[in-house]
Amino acid sequence: MRTPVVASLVASSLLALTAALLPATGAGAEPAVPVGSGASAVGPTAPMTAYPSPVTARAPRPFPALQVTTLADGLDHAWDVQELPGGGLLVSERDRARLSIVDDGGTRTLDFPSDRVWVSGETGLMGLAVDPGFEDNRRFYTCQGSNAAGDRHDVRVVAWRLGQDGTTVGGADVLLKGIQATSGRHGGCRLLVTDRGALLVGTGDAAVGANPQDRTSLNGKVLRLDPRTGRPSAANPWAGSENRKKRYVLTYGHRNVQGLAQRADGSLWSVEHGSYRDDEVNLLRRGANYGWDPRPGYDESVPMTDFSLPGKQRAARWRSGNPTIAPSGATFIRGAAWGRYRGRLAVAVLGGTRMMFQAYDGKGRLTDVRVPPVLREQGRLRSVTQLADGALVVTTDNGGGADRVLRVEPVRG
């Protein structure tokens, strides 16, 4: 039975106890952003009731200070970074069409056929994924612009094998081709191997108005396939379609998917560039339409999620509002060392030059956003991946040969 508050409670004791109940804020952490906004204003504090002893308040876990270390520099438009089992980081550079490994010995460029990569605008050597069986099969995947027959180009998903010497790359097994490429605008292209072994591919719409809503197009979609064979996943919503491309579609109605992540509960999420407004984070549902339809032509004044379209459209779980900030790669944070960052979605941001840590409840509803000041000091951030030891690795995308791979970790002690 809770003891009632007595009228003679000393005011100073009440203030002290109320302060003890307020959320702790770790060094180097900014206040939370209100959930209905992409801005960085401070949200209201919920009303709290103080009770005298013997009630003991337990302070929430703090936001730890973060430490940033440079692991590699001299890169150019470093698009993705993935950890290789046994040590080393695999890094792609979009415009140089170059693959490198970063480890304790420094950065070494792999013997990779860069001349097979078509580079134009936003398209080049982009997303990476490492096969769960890499230690045995040495297999990894790229999403890249490609020179197709004649003067045509497309975006492809290709499987490769890293040689035992750690410097040569072979294989070149094309898993999926025919993702449309026009000028190089809106080329996607993010990869993710799920906990069930499927390969997700987040694509852009190639700035072609009909693509996002056309389920027989591979563009403006999240695709799902078997990385061993390149065949569409049997669990896809249109796996039995007579149209080959439609069999690959998991979700549609996207503009330009830049990030993919899987939460500990198994749910799948995407990060997407908006037009002049409304970058999005979406919770993916099998067969769902996310509402981008810039027809007729390519009309970017339409809403990112157009609820006037036929059928049902899924609303975004987070939107930037106007203007956009260009979010990109993302990962859900695991590990107790991260304190109150644990379980949040870390989202690298290009135009907004920051890292957002977004908190979602069990139903996928946004509750707040945290932006550590130290991650506002690194310029444009493209990708974020969590390592087996719990640290994050982040690539910058500032261009000019000045890009880096960063290690971000909570300060211990």
Domain assignment present for residue 328? The answer is: yes
The average pLDDT across 123-139 equals 97
Q: Give domain status of residue 49, yes or no.
A: no
Number of other residues whose CB lies within 10 A of the CB of residue 62: 16
Place of tokens 């830049």: 258
Give the whole-angstrom CA distance, residue 195 versus residue 266. 8
Least confident span in 27-31, 41-45, 380-384, 394-398: 41-45
Strand, helix or coil at 296? coil
Overall average pLDDT of the 65-82 stretch: 98
Domain-embedded: residue 99:
yes
Task: Answer yes or no: is 73 within a domain.
Answer: yes
Please, which pLDDT band fits residue 143 given cuts at 50, 70 and 90? very high
In this prediction, residue 11 carries a pLDDT of: 36
**pLDDT more than 90, % of the chain:** 82
Q: Which helix (H) or strand (E) holds 15?
A: helix 11-21
Query: What are the φ and ψ backbone dihedral angles of 312, each rounded to 5 degrees?
Result: -105, 135
Q: What is the average per-residue pLDDT within 168-179?
A: 96
- pLDDT tens by residue, 274-290: 999 999 999 999 999 99
* Domain residue limits at 351: 60-410
Higher pLDDT, 235 or 41: 235
The residue among 211, 175, 206 whose CA lies nearest residue 189 is 206
pLDDT at 57: 54
Q: What per-residue confidence (pLDDT) applies to 59?
A: 60
* 55, part of any domain: no
Handedness of CA 28, 33, 35, 37 (dihedral sign): negative
Q: Which two tokens stand for residue 206?
A: 């190639």
Round to whole Å and give the CA distance between 190 and 79. 10
Residue 188 lies in a domain: yes
Question: Averaged over 5-32, what is the pLDDT?
Answer: 36
Contact 255, 204 (CB under 8 A): yes
**What is the sign, positive or negative, of the torsion defined by CA atoms of 108, 110, 114, 118?**
negative
In this structure, is residue 198 part of a structural domain?
yes
The model's pLDDT over 196-211, given as tens digits with 9 standing for 90+, comes to 999 999 999 999 999 9
CA pair distance 374, 68, nearest whole angstrom: 8
Provide the number of structural domains found in the chain: 1
Lowest mean pLDDT among 52-61, 100-109, 144-153, 389-398: 52-61
Residue 294 belongs to some domain of the structure: yes
What's the mean pLDDT in 289-314?
97
Q: What percent of the chain has pLDDT over 70?
A: 85
Q: Give me the CATH number covering residue 366.
A: 2.120.10.30
